[in-house]
Chains A and B, each alone.
Chain A
Amino acid sequence: MSNETMVEIKHLTKEFEEKKGGLFKKKRQKVYAVNDINLKIKKGEILGIIGESGCGKTTTARMVMRLLRESSGEIWFKGKELCRLNDRETKKIRKEMQIIFQDPYDTLNPGMRVLDILMEPLNAHLSHISFKEKVNMIKDMVEEIDLKPADQYIYRYPHQLSGGQRQRVAIARAIILKPAFVAADEPTSMLDVSVRAGILNLLLNLRKRMGLTMMFITHDLATASYMCDRIAVMYQGKIVEIGQTQKIIHNPTHPYTKALVSVVKDLNYFIENREKLIRDGEVDSSQQTSGCPFSMRCPHEHERCNHVQPVLTKLSGEHFVSCHLENKENFKRQEEEAVNAI
């Protein structure tokens, strides 16, 4: 792994507007799906993004893949700012970055054969090569994703494949153009546990062979720790903790990460000490607090947490956390400032 940065996200924000009220009293409320996040993905690295559903991980990936317009912020990829590219340049850049979707039952057109499905990216970007060469490329690719022999599979329709095989085809479609960067949006969450490991190992193999850089989105910490070099934990559109997988697993610092890790490590301990780790209840993301987004579920809630938003602060090396409790010095200073201001 080199230190070269492949993808850099700066202050990326996505807000959705919610219209409330009747005909005369219109209120517009902003809901932040992704709120000012900063990330760097190094070349050859797998960065995991974990968090509960609705925390903005998929939205982030879709913005990076240019399937969704950002509200503000910058995305840098290979020295280009993706948010400022026009349609033509975007199309060119799509060849180098691809996304693997969550649901293999939805992302393959039921009326197309595997051959046609894999032909789509080739037709879009490699119009100069002949049909025969394309078919050969597809056959190679299909063998690469362990559907052997290829001749048996390429003339099948998606409904003639199992869930795991479908996801393999979806992966093949994403990597057939040999992209440098792939975002995998919960690629195993719709699959049987029995075939998950196969898909994960396939991704790891492909990364080794093709030098892929990946953004791996999941809600499962165990999967993330198996796959990723670094993990970013998201909560309510914010990154609350980011660091090497080892650090996150063995030294979780943010209360949310602690809760996540304890579930995976020792479920009995988690159940017995539940109140000490996390408070119950889903939080309505439209309710904006000026303080820490996690304050409503945090077991150590402090008066300050309700009013001051914590920022990502360095703990050690590449380990950052955004929590008042862990940044006592910062916290004190802000408290003093607040007092002085009054």
Chain B
Amino acid sequence: MDKEKWRSYWKTLTSSNLGLIGIGILITFFFIAIFAPLIAPYDPSERIAPPLMKPNGSFLLGTNDVGQDIFSELIYGTRVSLLIGIIAALISIVIGCLVGVVSGYFGGKIDSLLMRFVDLILVIPFLPLMILMAAFVGPSFWNIILVISIISWASPARVIRSQVLTLKTKGFVEAAKSIGTNISTILRVHILPGVIPIALAQFVMAASHSILIEASLSFLGLGDPFTKSWGTTLYYAQARGAFLTDSWIWWILPPGLLITALVVGFALTGFSMEEILNPRLRKGRS
């Protein structure tokens, strides 16, 4: 049944064109990230040409202010953006799962305490808080991940809690209780399997959020200036006045499009994943 179940999930996931496009985009980006050294023509951290060159045959998108190849920069940037997005999303989903399951299953005072905490995080205007925190902990790869996960575990926790609330009233949970199964086994055997699909969809959404947040932080100059991500490329472009000259076409537009494409890819995948979880949204492929 399990195999069958996953097969039917895969079918719904790929039954809509949007889902297929989303997955296609994601696979392309993963491919680029993994094979970055093969695709990129130059080392992005090496000065190999005169600065501020226009695009030409050997430098597809020209060079930046210190003479590095922008195309190679973007290819390697895929790695950083994807990695930060996925690690941050993973951390926030794990925290969200933990909080959601504990809060939903045990209820009572623990629940209201945790949920008020979630409210607090959801209510704080998140960009100022993030800027503050990013400035406070200092710019580095891991600090960015930390800041993103601190902000984004709250809404998955909410969603997962509500799922746990419906699961725990199911007859088989009560039966397990009356049998005398201990709580950890009930959580592992009966609750978690019902939560995992939702957590997966939340993970995809959180990943796209994290990528956006990383890009905005880096653009504002709060990211690690020495890691090449799309956000830092934008930051340097803006700092060198690329908006004021023609160079925005090859210096600002491409990273912007890449960020948009990746986020859209994640979002489309997430939407069709939601169709799996909420069968009422499902429609046959016509």
Contacts and interface: CB of A to CB of B under 8 A. Distances in A.
Given A109-B190, A111-B1, A120 B179 contact: yes
A121 B179 CA distance: 6
B2 A111 contact: yes
A124 B179 CA distance: 7
Contacts, number: 58
Interface stretch (B11-19, B113-121, B125-133, B168-176): B168-176
A173 B179 contact: yes
B1 A107 contact: no
B181 A120 contact: yes
A80 to B, nearest CB: 15
Interface size, A (range): 20 to 34
A112 B170 CA distance: 14
Nearest to A67: B178
Interface stretch (A29-37, A90-98, A268-276, A282-290): A90-98
Interface string B181-202: 1100100011001000000000
B180 interface: yes
Nearest to A122: B179
Contacts of A101: 171, 174-175
Nearest to B2: A111
Contacts of A66: 178
B171 A107 contact: yes
Given A111-B2, A111-B193, A157-B1, A123 B181 contact: yes
Contacts of A121: 179-181
A111 to B, nearest CB: 5
B35 to A, nearest CB: 38
- Residue with the greatest number of chain A CB neighbours at <10 A, chosen from B5, B177, B178: B178
Contacts of A159: 1
A65 B178 contact: yes
B63 to A, nearest CB: 56
Given A101-B171, A107-B171, A109-B190, A120 B1 contact: no
Contacts of B178: 65-67, 94, 98-99
Nearest to A90: B180
B136 to A, nearest CB: 41
Contacts of A95: 180
Interface residues of B, number: 19
Interface string A77-108: 00000000000001100110011010100111
Contact of B182 (A106, A124, A157): A124
A106 B170 contact: yes
Interface in A110-143: 111-112, 120-121, 123-125
Nearest to A159: B1
A229 B36 CA distance: 79
Interface string A152-187: 000001010000000000100100000000000000
B108 to A, nearest CB: 13
A259 to B, nearest CB: 32
Interface string A245-280: 000000000000000000000000000000000000
B184 to A, nearest CB: 12
A183 B238 CA distance: 73
A124 B175 contact: no
Given A106-B170, A111-B193, A173 B175 contact: yes
A103 B170 CA distance: 10
A106 B174 CA distance: 10
B180 A107 contact: no
A124 B181 contact: yes
Contacts of B172: 106-109
Contacts of B175: 99, 101, 107-108, 170, 173
Interface string B69-92: 000000000000000000000000
A86 B172 CA distance: 23
A173 B177 CA distance: 13
A68 to B, nearest CB: 10
Contacts of A123: 181, 185
Interface string B36-52: 00000000000000000
A94 B177 CA distance: 9
B19 to A, nearest CB: 24
A109 B171 CA distance: 8
A173 B175 CA distance: 9
Nearest to A106: B171
Interface in B117-176: 170-172, 174-176
12 contacts: A65-B178, A94-B180, A99-B175, A99-B178, A106-B171, A108-B171, A121-B181, A123-B181, A124-B179, A124-B185, A157-B1, A170-B175
Given A94-B179, A111-B5, 11 more contacts: A91-B180, A107-B174, A107-B175, A111-B2, A112-B189, A120-B176, A120-B179, A120-B181, A124-B180, A159-B1, A173-B179
A-B pairs, top 10 by smallest CB distance, nearest first, are A106-B171, A107-B171, A94-B180, A109-B172, A121-B179, A91-B180, A157-B1, A124-B181, A107-B175, A124-B180
Interface of A: 65-67, 90-91, 94-95, 98-99, 101, 103, 106-109, 111-112, 120-121, 123-125, 157, 159, 170, 173
